[in-house]
Amino acid sequence: EAQVTQNPRYLITVTGKKLTVTCSQNMNHEYMSWYRQDPGLGLRQIYYSMNVEVTDKGDVPEGYKVSRKEKRNFPLILESPSPNQTSLYFCASSPRTGGSWDTEAFFGQGTRLTVV
Amino acid sequence: GQQLNQSPQSMFIQEGEDVSMNCTSSSIFNTWLWYKQDPGEGPVLLIALYKAGELTSNGRLTAQFGITRKDSFLNISASIPSDVGIYFCAGLYYGGATNKLIFGTGTLLAVQP
């Protein structure tokens, strides 16, 4: 089954304790990205990656890191989480079609993070 | 940064009614997308629009890419209870090494049987 898998689904942590949220896709997609969803703000892009070892900042990258060492995996790293990073996080992947980038077609089920 | 204004914020309707929601932007987009998010799930793509003026249907859903490339609307006809959820518009622009997807703030749809 084609899917994007995020882990964990739920996480409660304390301020300053480094954490990683994993994301894996089994569709051989080139493009992957991370979003956070907050009430009244919709989904905002944190980072994206157009291919292995190619990453770039989205609209709200502060406090986050990513890596893309393999095509299928795109982990989100919070080196020193703070309470304002409490949010619902989504990973997404999309294929590239022809000469242009395709649309965001597949989202993971989300990771609800609480930082206390 | 860029913003998408999505309206209405919420809708409470009776089963069988038609629904309309729209998104506007101050920026031009290459592609408009409409997603639906069920509780506890990630967004699922409903319709993608690639050309200005394009009108596309997917079952009871119809969406249009505005001529100015700064707006889009989504219509749902004859709503049913499973239409309940949050609907998001999203605008995508890409050129060279840049690829950005901007989401609207969402429309919460409630359908009463």
C-alpha gyration radius of chain B? 14
Residue B70 is predicted with a pLDDT of 93
How close is the nearest chain B Cα to the Cα of A48, in Å?
A: 9
Residue B2 is predicted with a pLDDT of 63
Residue type at B4? L
% of chain B beyond a pLDDT of 70 = 92
Mutate which of B7, B56, B103, B108 to test chain A, going by most A C-beta atoms within 10 A? Answer: B103
Strands B31-37, B44-49: pairing kind:
antiparallel
Q: Residue B86's pLDDT band (boundaries 50, 70, 90)?
A: very high
A31 to chain B: closest CA residue: B99
How close is the nearest chain B Cα to the Cα of A10, in Å?
A: 11
Give φ, ψ of A80 to 5 degrees.
-145, 80
CB contact under 8 A, A4 and B42: yes
Question: How large is the average pLDDT for residues A92-107?
Answer: 67
CB contact under 8 A, B44 and A90: no
* Sequence-distant (≥ 6) Cβ neighbours of residue A67 within 8 angstroms: A55, A74, A75, A77
Choice among A26-35, A96-105, B19-28, B44-53 with the minimum mean pLDDT: A96-105
Q: Residue B80's pLDDT band (boundaries 50, 70, 90)?
A: very high
Closest by CA to B33, choosing from B78, B73, B5, is B73
